């Protein structure tokens, strides 16, 4: 500690406030689809692009995506990273074993879905690999139902 060092006042900013975000019926239908182990996307009437998860408003066209489309549960690994750390509340933590975060193009979709990729050593992941969805046994209409993707 140098002579200029000063004391900190260390308030813990109470970010445990509860916010009620209306999810909207597009994400609600996406999660309802999970209960039946279905993956839904939404299609823009203007540009024709199908996005997953379904989001109501197309940012590029400023139009309402009116049509829901059921997507394949198989797709291609387009991009991925291997995580050697996690970030929780801004703090870097090391992990015991590296893990894969993938960006997957489901057949029938025009954008990429972020998901955990498992079922192979992390060093063997390659873009272009074919992957399929792996569901929890008991789907409950929660994001965690679509647990991860694994090689076909």
Partner 1 sequence: MDNKVAIVGFRMAAAPDIEITRERLAFNLTRGLFDDLGIERDDVGTTIICSNDFLDGRTISNVFLDPHVGAYMKDESKVEMDGLNALAYAAMRILSGQYETALVASLGLTGSQASPYLHIEYTMDASYDRPMKLLNELAAAALQAKSYLAEHGYSEGLLDEVAAKDLANAAGNPNQARRMPGITAEQVAASAMYYEPLRELHCYPPTDGGCMMLLASEKKAGELCDKPVWILGMGRSTDNYYLGDRDLATSLSASQAAAKACEAAGIKDPAGEIDFAEISSLFAHQEPLFAEAMGLMESGKAPDAYRAGDTAINGRLPINPSGGPLGGHPISSTGLIRAAETVLQLRGEAGENQVTKADVALVHGQDGLCAQQSVVFVLGT
In sequence order, what are the residues at sequence separation of 6 or more whose Cβ sits closer than 8 angstroms to the Cβ of residue 35?
139, 140, 141, 145
42, 115, 131, 133: which one contacts partner 1 (CB under 8 A)? 115
Quick check: 121 binds partner 1 (CB under 8 A)? no
**Interface with partner 1 by CB under 8 A: which range of 32-40, 62-70, 90-98, 130-138?**
90-98
Site string for partner 1, 7-36 (x = CB under 8 A): ----x-x-x---x-x-x---x---------
Question: Omega of the bond prior to 82 within 30 degrees of 0, cis?
Answer: no
Quick check: 64 binds partner 1 (CB under 8 A)? no
DSSP for 4-60, please give it.
Answer: T--PPP-----TT-------HHHHHHHHHHHHTT-EEEEE-TTT--EESS--SEETT
Quick check: 113 binds partner 1 (CB under 8 A)? yes
Using CB under 8 A as the criterion, which residues of the chain lie in contact with partner 1 when the complex forms?
Answer: 2, 4-6, 11, 13, 15, 19, 21, 23, 27, 51, 53, 55, 59-60, 79-87, 89-92, 101, 103, 111-116, 127, 143
């Amino acid at each position: 500690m140098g002579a200029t060092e000063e004391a900190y006042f260390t308030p813990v900013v109470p970010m445990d406030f509860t916010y009620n975000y209306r999810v909207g019926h597009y994400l609600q239908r996406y999660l309802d689809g999970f209960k039946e182990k279905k993956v839904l996307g939404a299609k823009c009437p203007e540009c024709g692009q199908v996005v997953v998860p379904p989001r109501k408003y197309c940012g590029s066209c400023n139009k309402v995506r009116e049509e829901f489309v059921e997507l394949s549960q198989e797709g291609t690994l387009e991009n991925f990273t291997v995580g050697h750390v996690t970030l929780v509340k801004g703090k870097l933590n090391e992990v015991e074993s590296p893990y894969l975060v993938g960006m997957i193009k489901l057949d029938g979709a025009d954008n990429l879905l972020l998901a955990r990729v498992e079922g192979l050593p992390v060093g063997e992941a390659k873009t272009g690999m074919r992957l399929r969805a792996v569901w929890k046994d008991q789907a409950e209409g929660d994001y965690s139902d679509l647990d991860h993707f694994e090689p076909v």
